[in-house]
Every structure is written in structure tokens, then in C-alpha cells.
Structure 1
Amino acid sequence: MRCFIVLAILFCTQTIGAQQQKLSVYFRFNSASLDSSERKKIDSILYLNKTGMNTVDIFGYCDAIGNNTYNDSLAWERVNAVLQYFGTTTIAKGQVGKAEAYGKRKPANSNLTEEERLRNRRVDIFITNDPQASTATAQTPAVPQQPSLEKRVSDSSLKAGDNLVLKNLNFIGGRHMLVRESIPAAYELLEVMKKFSTLEIEIQGHICCAFGISDGLDIDTQTNNLSENRARSIYEFLVRNGIAASRLSYRGFGSSKPMYYPERTIAQMDANRRVEIKIIRK
């Protein structure tokens, strides 16, 4: 069976130059779940490259149905599905290079037929091989443990009207798309909303680096409501994953409520570029 899959994958991958291969995995409409056939494709290309693999770059896309905010979020979920599947394999975390989502931007075709739309509902995986690359991985410094969101929400002192900063939920500068490292934090919020079935929240978006104006320019939509779009992207992510819209609302505050002012470091800019939740009902 393994031989058959390995032979099949040779026809599914594309060599980019001498050192790089490309694999595309496809998704059903409005879904970020990897079908078994697509998981097998990933298994096979990893098997073929089990020695000498240097980096893996991942790029997510959607078809043209829906708005940019929705599709950007869905494309990130597709990227995350591949990243999570990599986590069940022998691929090292340090081997993942770029992980980006383009939503319905950069379509592979005109999106006129269902077959064309299917080809746009995909994640492209680029594997770069370097037989001389060291297999040693860098040691990650220990990070102090923060209380989980679940523990913070379950704290009896938390009441309606209180705000919680969502730790590690940060965005790419000028865009309403989460940085790759923040995707697990979005899923943590989703699990908390599922567990605390009476919890109602307002999702509040904030930006950095733009004091004195009402809101920032969203590069993706070319509208001056960046903080609102950031909050809405989390709102749509939760609704798409089964949380009732009646339990959620969202609002953008621009740069009117900075955690740091003036911003003197990159870390302070990242902290101001954030999402908080306000407890409406617990």
C-alpha cells in the first residue's frame, strides 16, 4: 500500500527548481478539515523527503465566494489544519518556514466553474530539500507559564463588564489576519466558548502605531476600520465553528485604548495590536 501511495504522489507533486517540491491539498466548500485522501498525500511527500528536508512553507487559499474577511479567516484555518497535521508526523517545528493565508486573493483561475473553485480551495505546501542541512534543532528558551483562558474565565472574581486581554492573539501589521503563532489562541477561545455555554462576550479590536486618528487602514480591504475588521475576523471564526451569533458582538476601538503609550519597542507595538473580550454575561 505504501508503494502505491508513494508512486501516486510522484504524479501529484511539482518540482520547483532543483531543490524544491510543491504539493497542493484541497478542501471541501466552507471547510478547513483535511479529508483522508489529502492526509495521505501529505504522508507520502513527507515519506519521500524523510531525509534532507530543510524547510516547509505553507500558503492557504479560498474560492471567490464570500467576503475578504471571511475568506482570510478560513484560509488561515486551512493553513492551521495542515500545521496541526504536521504535528502528528515526524516533522520538526523548526522546519516550518513561512505560513501565510491569502483568502480569495491570488486565485489560480477564474473561479467560473465548480472545478475551478475547488482548485482554489487549497493549501500549497513547498518543501525545500538540503541534504547537507543539519538535523540539529535550536533549543527554545523556556517561556513562563500564563494562566489558561479557561482558568481566567472560570475565576469567580470575573464578572460582567470586565475585560480580558487574549494572550498571544496578535495580528500582522496593517492587516486583519492573525500571525501564525496566534492561531492556537483563537482555538483556545473557541473551546472556552463551547465549554461555558452561557458566556456572552463583546470582541474588541485595537491597533497600534496610529495615534490621533479614528482607526487604521486595512491593507486587505482598503478601508479605514482595521480594528473593527480584526474583531470581526474573530467573531466570524467563532460563528463558523458553531458558536451562536447571539452570544457574540464585536467592536473596533482604533488606537484609543493603548496598553502602551508612547510605543517605544516592537513588543509594545505588538501588545497594542490586540483583541480583548468584554464579558457581557457569564
Structure 2
Amino acid sequence: MLTSVYFDYDSYKLTKDSQRKLDSLSQLKSNLKFKIFGNCDVSGSSEYNKKLSENRANAVGKYLQSKIKNNINLESVTGLGKEKQINDNSTEELRRKNRRVDVFVDLIMAKGEMKSGKTFESFFSKKVSEMKVGETYSLPNVNFVGGRHIWLSKGDKVLAKLADILKNNPSLEVELQGHICCDYDNFDGEDLDLKTFNLSFTRANAIKEFLEKQGVKSERIKAVGMGHLNPVTYPERTEEDFVKNRRVEIVLLKK
């Protein structure tokens, strides 16, 4: 899972809200490891922002170190500067979201141990009348080329069928949730085509753009990136595992 804390402009001082969030995080009971990554908006030079992001990450690391119990291992503390922007900086709200530290929480696993994440029934397994708002569904066979927002050809028929359902049920509104595999040193992966670090979003958005071209109105579709937080298989050991995690799921928002 991921917890993020946010900072004021040009500051690495923890706010009271951030301290409360980190206090809660430090009380987790399972055997866990934390990775901490500091981030900045685009204001200032690369050198300055690298130092600022390191200071932010270190502030979080030192605070957590004073709180965590023996069951939690603080594995790494890294400042990423402004080089791996998740959000663009077109508005103050988006710039604020880039002024943050991400704490990735992972299980300490035995050698060779694997975990299976939650899987969902197919979006096509039941009639629209039987679906419930808020439920998450899989899009079977919709998987992606590694590092890219291009889906494998076996997904073509599935997405065409999805477009037909949405066109035939004009009251439906959905959220597309993109996922990646295997990049556990960043919240999200690099889109090799766009050179951005929001691969899970660009995968969901690629399907949104496809559906729009099929005649589904844009306002009925929301695209979001979930990064690597919900793998179907973890850790990945085979190409099949990688492919399974490069996926998009769909949430019914309105019917």
C-alpha cells in the first residue's frame, strides 16, 4: 500500500496532519518494510530540487524511525527531485500534489514466497441490470506491452464489446483503473513512448480514448492510475506474471 504526506512550498517541515498520518502508519502490526521517496514540483533547479526532495524524504524517515517497532524495517530513503513527475504542474493543486513524500508499505516475505492479490469477476459475466454501483470488474485478456500503453491484440475484441455495452446503456458511467507490474522503486512506471512516469494512468487513458472514438461520451469515463499497488501476482517471477499485472480494471460509477 501507499501513504503520501504533503509539504508546503519550498519546505521540508512535517505538518501536524502529516505527523498524525505517519503515527498511524507506524502502528501497523504485520512484518513490513517501508521505502520512502521524496518529490518536488518543477520550481527551482534540478540540483536544488534534488536536495529539497532528499530533505523531505529524510524528515519522514527520521520521524518514522523514532516511532516504528521491531516488526517494521525502514529499507530505503530516496530523494527523486523533480525528474519523475506523476502529475503535470498546470494548476496549483497539481503542483501541491507533487510536493510530497511517498511511503511504500510492503510485506516482508520469505524466500520464494508469493502472494496472490484480489481478482474480480469479468465485466461481461452478468447483465447490466445485475451489476452494482461501486463494484470492480476485470477486463479479461486486456493486458499491455511492457513499459507501454498499447494493449496486446487479444484485447481488441474485449474492448469492442465493452464499447457496445456502454453505447447500448447510455446511463452507465465507469472508472478505468490502470495497473503496472514490477517497478517497485516508484509509485508508477515510465511510459516509454511518452517519457512520463504515469504508465498506469496512460494505460487507462488509452482505453478511454478508444471508447471515445467508438462514440462513448468522455464525461462518462474516468481514467485513473493505480501504479503498482494492487498486483494480481507478487512478486512476479515469470512473463505470465508480468502480463497479468499489466492490466486495467473497471469500476461501475453510475447506472
What TM-score do you get using the length of structure 2 for normalisation? Answer: 0.50
Alignment partner of 1:152: what SS? coil
Query: How many Å apart are 1:258 and its aligned residue?
Result: 0.9
Q: Aligned equivalents of 1:209 and 1:219: distance in 2?
A: 15
Matches within 5 A, 1:94-243: 149-154=123-128, 156=130, 158-243=131-216
Measured in 2, the distance between the counterparts of 1:164 and 1:239 equals: 20
Offset, 1:169: 0.4
Unaligned runs of 5+ in 2: 1-120
- C-alpha contact 2:136 2:251 (8 A) present in aligned 1: yes
2: CA distance between counterparts of 1:151 and 1:260? 22
Root-mean-square deviation (CA, aligned residues, Å) is 1.7
Cα deviations by residue, 1:143-197 (Å, 9 ceiling, x for unpaired) = xxxx9744435362x3111101100001111100111221111111111111222
Distance across 1 between alignment mates of 2:253 and 2:172: 8
| Count of aligned positions | 135
**CA shift digits 1:197-237 (9 cap, x unpaired):** 21110011000011241100001001101110000000011
Matching residue of 1:52? none
Q: Deviations over 1:86-115 (max 9, x none)?
A: xxxxxxxxxxxxxxxxxxxxxxxxxxxxxx
Amino acid at match of 1:255: H
1:235 counterpart SS class: helix
Say if 2:149 and 2:199, in contact at 8 Å, map to a contact too. Answer: yes
User: Given the superposition, is the C-alpha separation of residues 176 and 244 from structure 1 closer, same or farther in structure 2, using an over 3 Å criterion?
Assistant: same
Q: Distance in 2 between matches of 1:148 and 1:260?
A: 18
State the Cα deviation string for residues 11-51 of structure 1 (Å, max 9, x = none).
xxxxxxxxxxxxxxxxxxxxxxxxxxxxxxxxxxxxxxxxx
Please tell me whether residue 273 in structure 1 is matched to residue 217 in structure 2: no
Rounded Cα–Cα distance in structure 2 between residues aligned with 1:171 and 1:242: 23
Q: Distance in 1 between matches of 2:125 and 2:169?
A: 11
Secondary structure, aligned partner of 1:182: helix
Distance in structure 1 (CA, Å) of the matches to 2:235 and 2:166:
34
User: Residue 184 of structure 1: SS of its match in structure 2?
Assistant: helix
Given that 1:149 and 1:192 are in contact with CA atoms closer than 8 Å, whether structure 2 keeps it comes out as no
SS of 2:202's equivalent in the other structure is helix
Matched, 1:256 2:229: yes
Q: Which blocks of at least 5 consecutive residues in structure 1 are unaligned? A: 1-146
1-side partners of 2:151 and 2:204: how far apart? 11
**In structure 2, how many angstroms separate the alpha carbons of the residues matched to 1:161 and 1:231?**
18
> 4+ runs of 1 displaced by more than 4 Å?
none
- With structure 1 as the length reference, what TM-score do the two structures score? 0.45
| Distance in 1 between residues matched to 2:138 and 2:193, nearest whole Å | 25
Residue identity in the other structure for 1:225: N
